């Protein structure tokens, strides 16, 4: 297993070295602040995430991690559908060329009009989050075909990390879900396909993920014992990404081995596994690039100002959790001064919170030099403070496997429309 872990690590290192080499050659022609996505890393992330599941598992990309339609279309080319949280993400999927049957409709609260649109369009399934949502769905009269549903279960226990199970507002209790499943059996317009589980995000340890799978297995048995057939189980494992310099990457080789031992459990016979994932698919492909626009010495400290900080880049670990914690950095300088110094990297907003890195050891940085943050493809863009000080927002583009760079229409244009 250690060998597989090392092989994963070396292949990722190799990708990173190639991307940095390319950046070195193109650093002065790239617009900044920029999110650069590597096609090679996207492909590799899809392959390694798929390998966690049986071969016939069906995958959905959670657009909340990064709704950029050009990325959604990259995933579609890899056979991965879209998991959406509302009308706008639905539009992003459609703009990316996804057919309704490859879109899974999640989202915390679905309005009557959104449910009506979905029932006309025929998504892969609608995930029911609450009893009230179920009541709204029952009121929809026009269905293009039988509408398939999944019931999101909140088992009432939590497993650490960014918890979204026990104690959270998401999903249904097992009893609520059982009552809905039984009622659904008598409704000819609706088909209860199965269950949906998402326990939390940014998991960097194997154990909580496996504990969650064990709870899923118990829940499937409970439903079967109550006479409810389960054809599909949708799992969001919430695999994490090492954003911060001190984070240790999830041991995917160990996770793969333990998950495959679980798939042998007879409870999974006759169940189609669907998976939904955001950051595990997109985070590593993204590199955030900002340019140095100023430097200042003040009371014994060196501040390096970048053309984009918190307004365009949040390390994606959740507000409150990121302030003054350093991500991993790469630096590209135009002049080699041969010295290092300790600096604070800051953005251009009128708040001390706009600190990208504190007490960072870096080569002497001058105007136009580049600061690069890897693992920046997920949540970093969408959870940034776009409106603050009306500073310019970010560029985005793909570095294709053949070394060509293609700019994207920035994702905020879709939001501002």
Ligand X SMILES: Cc1ncc(COP(=O)(O)O)c(C=O)c1O
Kindly state whether residue 171 participates in binding ligand X, applying the rule CB under 6 A: no
The token pair that represents 240 in the structure block: 């994490």
Is 72 a binding residue for ligand X by CB under 6 A? The answer is no
- How far apart, in whole angstroms, are the C-alpha atoms of residue 414 and residue 69? 9
362 near ligand X (CB under 6 A) = no
Contact 280, 241 (CB under 8 A): yes
Find the shortest distance in angstroms from Cβ 136 to ligand X. Answer: 19
Using the rule CB under 6 A, give the single segment among 18-26, 31-39, 58-66, 258-266 that binds ligand X.
58-66
- Rounded distance, CA 215 to CA 165, Å? 11
The token pair that represents 381 in the structure block: 């863009």
Q: CB of residue 174 vs ligand X: minimum separation in angstroms? A: 17
Q: How many angstroms separate the CA atoms of 55 and 44, rounded?
A: 16
Q: How far is CA 57 from CA 49, 238, 284, in A?
A: 11, 17, 22
Candidates 148, 279, 284, 395; binder of ligand X (CB under 6 A) is: 279
Query: Judged by CB under 6 A, which stretch of 61-69, 115-123, 390-398, 400-408 contacts ligand X?
Result: 61-69
Report the distance separating Cα 272 and Cα 48, nearest Å. Answer: 19
> Which residue number, 27 or 279, has a Cβ lying nearer to ligand X?
279
Does residue number 62 form part of the binding site for ligand X (CB under 6 A)?
yes
Total residues in contact with ligand X, by rule CB under 6 A? 15
Region at 82 (left for phi over 0; alpha for psi -120 to 50; beta for the rest): beta
- Using the rule CB under 6 A, give the single segment among 15-23, 59-67, 342-350, 390-398 that binds ligand X: 59-67
Q: Are 62 and 83 in contact (CB under 8 A)?
A: yes
Q: Which of 34, 235, 277, 289 binds ligand X (CB under 6 A)?
A: 277
Among residues 82, 242, 278, 286, the one that binds ligand X under rule CB under 6 A: 278
The contact mask relative to ligand X for 117-146 (x = CB under 6 A, - = no) is ------------------------------
Q: How many CB atoms lie within 10 A of CB 179?
A: 15
How far apart, in whole angstroms, are the C-alpha atoms of residue 54 and residue 78?
Answer: 16
Q: Kindly state the smallest distance separating residue 380's Cβ from ligand X, in Å.
A: 12
- Summarize as ranges the residues that interact with ligand X (CB under 6 A): 62, 64-65, 83, 106, 164, 198, 201, 236, 238, 276-280
């Amino acid at each position: 297993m250690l060998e597989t872990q090392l092989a994963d690590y070396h292949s990722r290192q190799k990708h990173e070295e190639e991307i940095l080499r390319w950046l070195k050659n193109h650093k002065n022609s790239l617009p900044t602040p920029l999110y650069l996505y590597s096609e090679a890393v996207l492909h590799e992330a899809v392959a390694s995430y798929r390998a966690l599941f049986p071969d016939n598992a069906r995958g959905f990309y959670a657009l909340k991690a990064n709704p950029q339609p050009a990325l959604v279309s990259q995933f579609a080319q890899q056979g991965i559908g879209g998991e959406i949280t509302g009308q706008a993400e639905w539009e992003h999927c459609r703009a990316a060329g996804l057919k309704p049957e490859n879109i899974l409709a999640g989202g915390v609260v679905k309005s009557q009009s959104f449910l009506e649109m979905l029932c006309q369009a025929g998504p892969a399934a609608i995930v029911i989050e609450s009893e009230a949502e179920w009541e709204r769905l029952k009121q929809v009269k026009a269905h293009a075909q039988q509408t398939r549903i999944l019931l999101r279960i909140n088992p009432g226990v939590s497993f650490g990390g960014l918890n979204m199970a026990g104690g959270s507002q998401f999903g249904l209790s097992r009893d609520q879900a059982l009552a809905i499943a039984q009622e659904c059996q008598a409704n000819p317009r609706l088909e209860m396909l199965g269950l949906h589980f998402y326990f939390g995000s940014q998991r960097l340890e194997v154990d909580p993920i496996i504990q969650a799978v064990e709870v899923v297995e118990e829940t499937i048995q409970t439903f079967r014992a109550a006479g409810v057939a389960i054809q599909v189980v949708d799992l969001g494992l919430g695999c994490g990404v090492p954003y911060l310099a001190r984070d240790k990457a999830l041991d995917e080789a160990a996770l793969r081995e333990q998950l495959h031992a679980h798939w042998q459990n007879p409870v999974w016979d006759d169940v189609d596994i669907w998976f939904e994932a955001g950051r595990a698919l997109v985070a590593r492909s993204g590199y955030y690039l900002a340019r140095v626009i100023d430097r200042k010495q003040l009371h014994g400290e060196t501040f390096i100002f970048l053309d984009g900080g918190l307004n365009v880049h949040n390390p994606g670990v959740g507000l409150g959790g990121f302030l003054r914690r350093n991500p991993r950095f790469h630096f590209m300088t135009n002049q080699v001064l041969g010295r290092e110094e300790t600096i604070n990297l800051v953005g251009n907003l009128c708040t001390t919170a706009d600190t990208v890195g504190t007490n960072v050891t870096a080569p002497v940085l001058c105007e136009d030099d580049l600061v690069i943050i890897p693992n920046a493809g997920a949540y970093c863009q969408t959870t940034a403070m776009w409106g603050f000080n009306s500073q310019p927002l970010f560029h985005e583009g793909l570095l294709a496997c053949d070394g060509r760079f293609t700019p994207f229409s920035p994702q905020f244009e879709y939001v501002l429309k």
